Amino acid sequence: MDLPAGADLGPEVTCADPVEGFARFVPEGPARGLPPRETDPGEYGGACFPSAVGMVASDLDQDGDPDLLFAARDAFPELWRNDGGVLTRVDVSAALEPLLDRAEVGAVGAVDLNGDRLPDVVVASANLLAVSWNQGGLQFADFEPLWAPPEYPRTCLYTFAFGDVDGDGDLDVSLPGGDLLADAEAEFQHAPTIGSPDWLLFNDDGAFDRALELERVGGRSLSLLTVFTDRDNDGDPDIVVSTDRNDLGLAPMAMHRHDGLDEDGLPRLTDDAPTVGFDLNTHGMGLGSADLNDDGVLDYLISDGVASLPTLLSDGQGGWLEAGLALGLIVERPPGVGDDWAGEYDGWE
């Protein structure tokens, strides 16, 4: 790979005593009370692609132990209380299904939205961000909508990220768009030809009444991934929004640079992904960041459905280089995974 003048990938690091694969991890779930989990997709009839497979570790009862939440399609997530490493199932009756309107849960999270230091449970679905307020003692209120515009077209939401983008002390939320539902009869389409809007919702003392569409270079796209980050160490939260199903010819990844607030208190956000090297087409599923080359700037690695893991290394000149292949981050996948997204997939042993 040819590097620009002055760019440096940093020192080569070699593990002295590597352990292949996952041999260094020992399953302890059953011993701690968590039985083996089997995912049964069952009968699918929702308006959005069924993706409620998320898991959240959060200290929901503030006893010092991280409890576990497993996403459910149309109900409060499956909750397991952690007491000193011993896990016990807790039944929660907080109602959700009436808010879903033919769609299903696409994402689940736990975050303190009202400042009482108790993580509230948040879910996303089609044109819906809803919260179940944490009452303490692992008691939760019925879900209520934080943001639920009723009009069509509606956007299937498969992920979210929280961060204080306007500096008022409240956690705002980035909601990247998934599949677009044109009308009440629309069902999930495996090859949509248009993208969906990416939303930024502003939290004003617990109310999410203001929404801003994040404009991407190249137009709308599809995404299962967004993060807040400070790419330039200026103290302002920049926003990364990835892409999904990169064979559709939609807009590439966005990197929204935060340049402070305008006279109305709104963040000045500019997608300069093509300028700084973030304009990749990915099947982005997750993102990790760290300073991999010791230059004081964050680098980014994306879990993906392609042969090499996209890795954006800072080039020392305000941009990033895709270096996953050069670093040897090549993934051997089971046959059929990532080869034909439109084909039938029956799983693997």
Which backbone phi and psi does 318 adopt, to 5 degrees?
A: 90, 10
Q: Which residue has the tokens 């010791």?
A: 294
> Distance (Å, rounded) from C-alpha 253 to C-alpha 199?
15
- Mean pLDDT of successive 10-residue segments in the chain (349 residues)? 67 72 73 74 63 83 95 92 94 92 88 92 94 96 94 90 94 94 71 81 89 93 94 94 88 96 93 96 90 93 82 93 87 56 37
Cα 305–163–58 angle (5° rounding)?
75
DSSP category for residue 185: T
CA dihedral 266, 312, 283, 337 (to 10 degrees): -160
- As a whole number of angstroms, the distance between CA 225 and CA 302 comes to 9
State both tokens at 1. 């790979």
Residue 120: is it exposed, middle or buried by C-beta count within 10 angstroms (0-12/13-18/19+)? buried
Helix (H) or strand (E) holding 273: helix 273-276
Q: Let me know: does 52 contact 25? Beta carbons within 8 Å.
A: no
Q: Which of 178, 296, 281 minimizes the C-alpha distance to 232?
A: 296
Q: What's the whole-model pTM score?
A: 0.84
Instruction: Please tell me the predicted confidence (pLDDT) of residue 101.
Output: 81
Round to the nearest angstrom and report the end-to-end CA distance of the chain: 37
pLDDT computed for residue 256 by the predictor: 97
Q: Which amino acid is at 1?
A: M
Q: How far apart are CA 49 and CA 104, in angstroms?
A: 8
Q: DSSP secondary structure string, 63-103? A: SSS-EEEE--SSSSPEEEEEETTEEEEE------GGGTTT-
Quick one: pLDDT at residue 260?
95
CA 151 to chain centre: 24
C-alpha pair distances (Å), 245 with each of 136, 147, 170, 282, 341: 41, 27, 33, 7, 8
Distance CA 312, CA 319 (A): 9
What are the respective helix, strand and coil percentages of the chain, to the nearest 5?
5, 35, 65
Which of 134, 127, 120 shows the shortest CA–CA distance to 106? 127
Alpha-carbon distance of 157 to 177, in angstroms, equals: 6
Q: Hey, what amino acid is at 23?
A: A
The helix or strand, by DSSP H or E, that contains position 147, with its residue range, turns out to be: strand 144-147
How far apart, in whole angstroms, are the C-alpha atoms of residue 52 and residue 140?
20
Name 213's Cβ contacts closer than 8 Å, sequence gap at least 6. Answer: 197, 198, 199, 200
Backbone angles phi, psi at 9, to 5 degrees: -75, -10
Quote the pLDDT of residue 47.
Answer: 73
Q: What is the pLDDT of residue 117?
A: 92
pLDDT value of residue 177: 93
| pLDDT score at 57 | 95
